[in-house]
Amino acid sequence: MLESPISSNSPCILVTGGAGFIGSNFVLNWIASGKGRVVNLDLLTYAGNLGNLGPLLENPDHILVHGDICDRGLVGELLLEHRPWAVVHFAAESHVDRSIRGPEAFLKTNIEGTFSMLQASLEHFRSLPPHEARHFRFLHVSTDEVYGTLAPDEPPFHEKTPFAPNSPYAASKAASDHLVRAWVHTYGMPAIITNCSNNYGPFQFPEKLLPLMIVNALAGKPLPVYGDGQQVRDWLYVIDHCRAIEAVLKAGRTGETYNVGGSNQQTNLTVVLTLCDLLDELVPGSRYRPHQQLIRFVDDRPGHDRRYAIDAGKLERELGWKAEETFSSGLRKTVQWYLDNQVWMEEVTSGSYQKWVSANYGDRAISERSTVTASAK
Ligand code: NAD
Ligand code: DAU
């Protein structure tokens, strides 16, 4: 095992996309646990939110830089000035439905942006004295969607599963993973890739399944389930993902890929029905109870991947990581967080969010089969 870079004498890391969902959870945790300073480079797109970082905005261990990962000059200056021992690269366009409606931004940020991060980081790595270069890591945060879709009886994705991305988002992430791989192979870049399954938890923007359903259910709006709702995702609580990234930074082998997932496969319909039951319990006074009456089956997502599932055995065996949260405990925490953070929700759902909702859902036909019963679980 490598000597832990976390115990090195240069306790600063550069995080990209640290104002987004996973990035903000990661940065909050990192600083709260005293692991050192974070330079947080974020463009603050619609998905980036300073409200996610509230307690850190006055904290000297958190240096927020409003800028673009495609700006290689800026990234180079930040690396030179702060001399981080690691780059944790979260920044991306991350929503599949948006990638279908407007793929350009995905190619720019996810491919060109990763190229820019790699070039600037390589130059920085090469300029480091050997004792610092030895610790330097570039961790590229990626997705299980690069592997494509699984049939019901196929085994979960493992690190050697061939890439078969199906959406513009997945293709752009696969391209970025290939760039990282090539920089390792050709230039000796000390990079590691993580490919994770669907995350859920606090601060997730309500364009994604769970927070969208929570926001709609609390407002008595329809809960739009795509297609037949039988698509399967492998859900992981966001803090477990953050812990996996920490484990990989600490002891992961450079040039390797680690799959991250919670071994928690569920159909979308089951997830939404479970959420409805939980809302019935946690909001007993709601006039929309039972919340499952709000479920509507709507036109499917084009090219919709049927099933994702992750084999995280390598991460568990090599680095001792294991998901700590069950879906039941994680979902309860998540719903409670949204109930306790209505102001955050109101802020993120005002303005351009409404335009997205009407663009994505306005013209989706509702199927005849518009109601479900608990037996559908
Ligand atoms: P997100 O959309 O919530 O956040 C993305 C962040 O990146 C935002 O803060 C945004 O402002 C920032 N950003 C976008 N373009 C930028 C640019 N050009 N320069 C600087 N910052 C920019 O995304 P997320 O769900 O937190 O995902 C983070 C990463 O994890 C992504 O790389 C994603 O592919 C990957 N991932 C996500 C999931 C998931 O379930 N959400 C699962 C596996 C992997
Ligand atoms: O698997 C990891 C990926 O998970 C990440 O790489 C992505 O960044 C992240 O967005 C997520 O992608 P998905 O497309 O799986 O997540 P999303 O929350 O958009 O959708 C989850 C499932 O729910 C998917 O099968 C589509 C379905 N869905 C989604 C929405 C928004 C609905 O049925 N209705 C909806 O309104």
How confident is the model over 88-139, as pLDDT tens digits? 999 999 999 999 999 999 999 999 999 999 999 999 999 999 999 999 999 9
Considering just the CA atoms, what is the radius of gyration of the chain in Å? Answer: 20
Query: What atom in ligand 1 is closest to the CA of residue 94?
Result: 2
Selected catalytic residue, list 68, 93, 97, 145: 145
Please indicate whether residue 97 is annotated as part of the active site: no
Q: State the pLDDT at residue 9.
A: 46
Per-residue CA distances from 238 to 201, 217, 287, 318 (Å) = 6, 22, 31, 21
pTM exceeding 0.85 = yes
Please indicate whether residue 169 is annotated as part of the active site: yes
pLDDT band at 363 (very low <50, low <70, confident <90, very high): confident
* Cα–Cα dist 127/104, whole Å: 34
Q: Is 369 exposed, middle or buried (0-12, 13-18, 19+ CB in 10 A)?
A: exposed
Paired tokens of 249: 């930074």
Per-residue CA distances from 311 to 11, 81, 245, 307 (Å) = 32, 39, 16, 13
- Helix and strand numbers (H, E) in the chain are 14, 13
Which domains does the chain show, CATH number per domain? 12-201+237-260 (3.40.50.720), 209-230+265-303+327-376 (3.90.25.10)
If you measure from the C-alpha of residue 30 to the centroid of ligand 2, how many angstroms do you get, rounded to a whole number?
26
Please indicate whether residue 144 is annotated as part of the active site: yes
Selected catalytic residue, list 42, 93, 169, 338: 169
* Cα–Cα dist 363/5, whole Å: 51
* Cα–Cα dist 274/164, whole Å: 31
Percent with pLDDT over 70 in the chain = 95
- Dihedral Cα 183, 314, 5, 3, nearest 10 deg: -110
If you measure from the C-alpha of residue 19 to the centroid of ligand 1, how many angstroms do you get, rounded to a whole number?
9
What pLDDT, in 10s, does the model give residues 255-289? Answer: 999 999 999 999 999 999 999 999 999 999 999 99
- Ligand 2: residues whose CB is within 6 Å? 94-96, 143-145, 197-198, 208-209, 212, 224-226, 231, 233, 268, 301, 308
- For 117, the enclosing helix (H) or strand (E) is helix 113-127
Ligand 1, atom 17: nearest CA belongs to which residue?
Answer: 68
Q: Is the distance from the beta carbon of residue 50 to the nearest atom of ligand 1 less than 6 Å?
A: no
Q: Is the distance from the beta carbon of residue 44 to the nearest atom of ligand 1 less than 6 Å?
A: yes
Query: What atom in ligand 2 is closest to the CA of residue 234?
Result: 1
Query: What atom in ligand 1 is closest to the CA of residue 203?
Result: 3
Residue 212's SS3 state is helix
Q: What DSSP character marks residue 92?
A: S
* Cα–Cα dist 42/62, whole Å: 13
